[in-house]
Amino acid sequence: MSTLRLTIGEKQVEVASGTSLLQAAREADVYIPSLCDHPDLPPWKDLDEWTEVFQGETRIAGDPSANRPEPGCGLCVVMVEGDDEPVRACVTAAADGMQVRIEGEDLRLLRQQRLGEIFTHHPHACLTCAQKVGCSREPCSTDVPVDERCCPLLGNCELERVADHVGIPADAVRYHPQNLPRITDDPLFERDFNLCIACTRCVRACRDLRGVDVIGLTFHEGRYRIGTRAPSLVDSECRFCTACVEVCPTGALRDRDLPAGKRDDALVACRTGCPAHTDVPVYVGLAAEGRFAESAAVVRERAPLVHVLGHICFHPCESVCRRGEVNDPVAIRAVKRAAAEHDDGRWKEAYPRPASTGKRVAIVGAGPAGLSAAWFLNAVGHEVILFDREEGVGGMLRSAIPAFRLPREDLEREVTDIIDLGIEVRTRFELGRDGSVDDLLNDGFDALLLAMGAGKSKQIPLPGSDLSGVFWGLEFLKECTIGPSPELSGQCVVVGGGNVAMDVARSAWRLGADSVDLFCLESEKDIPAYAPEIGEAREEGVTIHHQWGPVEITGEEEAVSGIEFRRCLKVFDDEGRFAPAYDDDVTSSFPAETVILAIGQEVEAVAGDTDRAGVFRAGDCLSGPSSVIEAIASGRTAAEEIDTFLGGSGDLTLRLVERDPVPVHLGREEGFAGKVRIDVPSLPSDERRSFDCLSPGLDAGAAAMEGSRCLRCDMRLEMAQVILPPRLWLDFTPELVAEVPSEPGAYQLLDGAGKVLTIAGVPDLREALLVEMEDEGEVVYFLYQEDPMYTRLESELLQQCLQEQGEMPGGSFDDLDDLF
């Protein structure tokens, strides 16, 4: 393909033949206004019209005989030397030696004229208001009718940015409300056809980029109209990828409840919601293709205990899965377990084995936090020795999680895989008894990580707790998992409302208790145990009694005979502190042959200087009792800190499988939105008396089918950003600051990416900026605006920053009280 040389504006450009002038300008970083162009999309000229479209329940029939205006927004007009008339840069091919003028009064007026035509059918009163900067639209200080105001994107809108650049014509026609459909009850995003300017980006994104072809256009009553194939998105076979929302230049298609400053995090909420930030869309997508070994490898890049998590992760990713707004969230944990069960171990070939750094790290506690830290530190060449007080490795996974939830063979296989990477293990080592913090650091270790779990039951002084037949929760579970298991019969009472209490109650039933009753302080809506654990406990016959606190365990001949309770009115005080309040006049007695107290857990105190350099903490030892995935994430974070301390980069990124590019094309799939979540099978309650695994999990076919329900929200993050008008930023240099007038006003300081770091209203702009120059910070650009009412301008700019960035300058929310 030949190379063309041409001039666009003041810039010499080289492009391949066949390139449009608009594309050539984009490649050369030269801005030409446009509202219909997008870097990912073909031009409008190739679009076919539909005979009809739907805007909600409103059917719009096309008029095949009407004369059509030239398609496109018409803002990209330019003058080519030698031509008498301006041309549209989006459909004009570049030619060798071409001289292209992109500015001038004639072009400005043409663009303004076209913008005025667009605003005939789009509300724009706010864009011409002198008080628009930082305005929240409600209430309106000039009493503009609501239907004539801009949408909530005001201050963060592409159309607004283009209008500011082009200029709204002084004779722009006032917008008259059209009362077109507003659809707010669809999943994930809202549609307001009053704001549509028929740029057709959404049509091309849905048809050409995703291949779903849900959105189309027709010509009706003198203008192009956009709509769907059927009245609803579901009936139109929408895949809910929201590519259409991404490319919309107005608020016609708008994400629902998406915070401005945390947009990317909110769009891929499953990945953000995972404490370890596992790449959920990627590993679920691989499982959907039956590529389970690769799927498991992707999980291991952030969380090495894939089998464990597939069984017992409390899956916070599922609670925020955006598929849940369509019908039900993807069963992510079940897909992960299937990936682990069909893993062929190919990740071992990709796991790095670098040369030794010569640094030694002691990790005390071989539970999920310690194993995670060991996995990542070993991968960068540090020598890692794991210490644990128990005989085996796994920490509380081994000693406190019942086998019906986490089969021992799966735990042992996973632990062995990690240890076999070259990690030394020393068991039966108890910190304090067998060595102190100082001893370890003086014994040739360069860093020490304390990663002990909260493996001790929290105890309260309860009368009768020393009777025979009384157990404490974690110690009881340890007897169940490691042995010897206690033999139970008769009535068993469990006290506590957390996950440990649920495990205790279910284990007691398996050990022979005729009935199990669980009493907790919390109400049904406040009980802290995870809902699935509560549901499974109830399936197994556990009766839960809410809002009761223990008073005394009663006994006969030094053995338990019952327990007394009193009504709990509330668990926390007004400051959120644990401070139960009781009604002593409301009591209850309950007979029992066994009482198990599972009211909390704690980490045993560590003797020695734990604040000295080189000592780090992770997991329960750092945060208090936490989940397995939180402990794994904490272990990785600690490993990053340790690597940095030892002279490394702190970058512990692992790539255990070659990644495919994030897909662009989805294609139509009949019934996609209605695909229901596949229930994970479990044993009938009458077959659960043993400690055998409760659920066989999903087979390969079911796991792939479930994975195929994923919306692939990550695809949207791979889309190119639209080209916006250039900001009028000034380089933060002494020369330019010296040219600033000594007048009242407000200034903004920005970093190299254009993020606002500081906003301040001051009586003397130059003086204040000269003071800012003395601070060597991240500032690269600045803006200023003269205004005698500089405190008001500062407030308006702060509100504008909050709208655009979703946070105050510098990422702080400290100034919100002052702002409002």
Residue 584: strand, helix, or coil: strand
| CB 393, CB 415: distance < 8 Å | yes
How is 439-481 classified by DSSP, letter by letter?
HHHTTT-SEEEE-----EE-----TTTTSBTEEEHHHHHHHHH
- Would you state the structure tokens that stand for residue 595, as one six-digit string? 């009482």
Quick: pLDDT tens for 43-90.
887 789 999 999 999 999 999 888 888 888 999 999 999 999 999 999
Residue bearing tokens 């707790």: 465
Can you tell me the distance from the alpha carbon of 669 to that of 396, in angstroms, rounded to the nearest whole number? 45
Name every residue whose Cβ is closer than 8 Å to that of residue 684 and which is 6 or more positions away in sequence.
Answer: none
820: confidence class by pLDDT, cuts 50, 70, 90: very low
Residue 537: strand, helix, or coil: helix
Question: Is residue 352 scored above 60 in pLDDT?
Answer: yes
CA distances from 172 to 26, 118, 161, 168, 221 (A): 29, 10, 17, 7, 21
Can you tell me the distance from the alpha carbon of 226 to that of 650, in angstroms, rounded to the nearest whole number? 50
CA distances from 231 to 50, 227, 268, 310, 727 (A): 15, 9, 28, 40, 40
**CA nearest neighbour of 252 among 122, 132, 373, 365:** 122
| CB 817, CB 795: distance < 8 Å | no
The β-bridge relationship of strands 383-387 and 11-16 is: unpaired
Q: Please tell me the total number of residues recorded for the chain in this structure.
A: 820
Q: Is the pTM of this model over 0.85?
A: yes
Give me the pLDDT at residue 816, please: 47
| CB 243, CB 205: distance < 8 Å | yes
Question: Is residue 25 scored above 80 in pLDDT?
Answer: yes
Give me the pLDDT at residue 156, please: 82
Question: What are the beta bridge partners of residue 546?
Answer: 520
CA 358 to chain centre: 37
Question: Is residue 512 scored above 60 in pLDDT?
Answer: yes
258: confidence class by pLDDT, cuts 50, 70, 90: confident
pLDDT above 70 coverage of the chain, percent: 98
- Would you state the structure tokens that stand for residue 693, as one six-digit string? 């695994």
Phi, psi of 155 (to 5 degrees): 95, -10
- Which of residues 810 and 750 earns the better pLDDT score? 750
The top-scoring range by mean pLDDT among 135-139, 146-150, 701-705 is: 701-705
Residue 538: strand, helix, or coil: helix
**CA nearest neighbour of 372 among 416, 405, 418, 406:** 418
Give me the pLDDT at residue 483, please: 85
Question: Is residue 818 scored above 60 in pLDDT?
Answer: no
Can you tell me the distance from the alpha carbon of 621 to that of 197, in angstroms, rounded to the nearest whole number? 57
- pLDDT, mean of residues 166-194: 92
CA 8 to chain centre: 41
Phi, psi of 540 (to 5 degrees): -90, 10
Name every residue whose Cβ is closer than 8 Å to that of residue 223 and which is 6 or more positions away in sequence.
Answer: 69, 121, 198
**Cβ-based neighbour number of residue 542 at 10 Å:** 23
Question: Is residue 135 scored above 90 in pLDDT?
Answer: no
Amino acid sitting at position 547 = Q
Give me the pLDDT at residue 819, please: 46
Question: What are the beta bridge partners of residue 746?
Answer: 761, 785
Question: Is residue 560 scored above 50 in pLDDT?
Answer: yes
**CA nearest neighbour of 88 among 98, 97, 78, 80:** 78
| CB 618, CB 450: distance < 8 Å | yes
Residue 354, Cβ density class (10 Å: 0-12 exposed, 13-18 middle, ≥19 buried): exposed
155: confidence class by pLDDT, cuts 50, 70, 90: confident
Question: What are the beta bridge partners of residue 53?
Answer: 60
**Cβ-based neighbour number of residue 192 at 10 Å:** 17
- Which of residues 641 and 726 earns the better pLDDT score? 641
**CA nearest neighbour of 126 among 153, 101, 105, 99:** 153
Give me the pLDDT at residue 271, please: 97
Give me the pLDDT at residue 267, please: 95
Give me the pLDDT at residue 7, please: 96
How is 479-535 classified by DSSP, letter by letter?
HHHTSPPPP--SEEEEE--SHHHHHHHHHHHHTT-SEEEEEESS-TTT--S-HHHHH
Quick: pLDDT tens for 580-630.
999 999 999 999 999 999 999 998 888 777 888 999 999 999 999 999 999
- The CA-CA-CA angle for residues 781, 786, 792, to 5°, reads 100
Quick: pLDDT tens for 715-726.
999 999 998 998
Strand order in the sheet with 730-731: 730-731, 781-786, 745-750, 756-762
- Would you state the structure tokens that stand for residue 243, as one six-digit string? 């590519």
- The CA-CA-CA angle for residues 377, 616, 389, to 5°, reads 80
pLDDT above 90 coverage of the chain, percent: 80
Can you tell me the distance from the alpha carbon of 337 to that of 310, in angstroms, rounded to the nearest whole number? 4
Give me the pLDDT at residue 557, please: 87
**187 Rama sector, left if φ>0, alpha if ψ -120 to 50, beta otherwise:** beta
> To the nearest whole number, what is the mean pLDDT of the chain?
93
Torsion of CA 293, 296, 300, 305, to 10 degrees: -120
Give me the pLDDT at residue 805, please: 76
**CA nearest neighbour of 447 among 352, 367, 357, 351:** 357
Give me the pLDDT at residue 260, please: 65
Residue 766: strand, helix, or coil: helix
**Cβ-based neighbour number of residue 594 at 10 Å:** 24
814: confidence class by pLDDT, cuts 50, 70, 90: low
Torsion of CA 111, 115, 118, 122, to 10 degrees: 170
Quick: pLDDT tens for 311-322.
999 999 999 999
Can you tell me the distance from the alpha carbon of 241 to that of 255, in angstroms, rounded to the nearest whole number? 11
777: confidence class by pLDDT, cuts 50, 70, 90: confident
803: confidence class by pLDDT, cuts 50, 70, 90: confident
Give me the pLDDT at residue 128, please: 83
Quick: pLDDT tens for 394-416.
999 999 999 999 999 999 999 99
- 770-775: which pairs have CB atoms within 8 A and are 24 or more residues apart? 770/737, 773/732, 773/734, 773/737
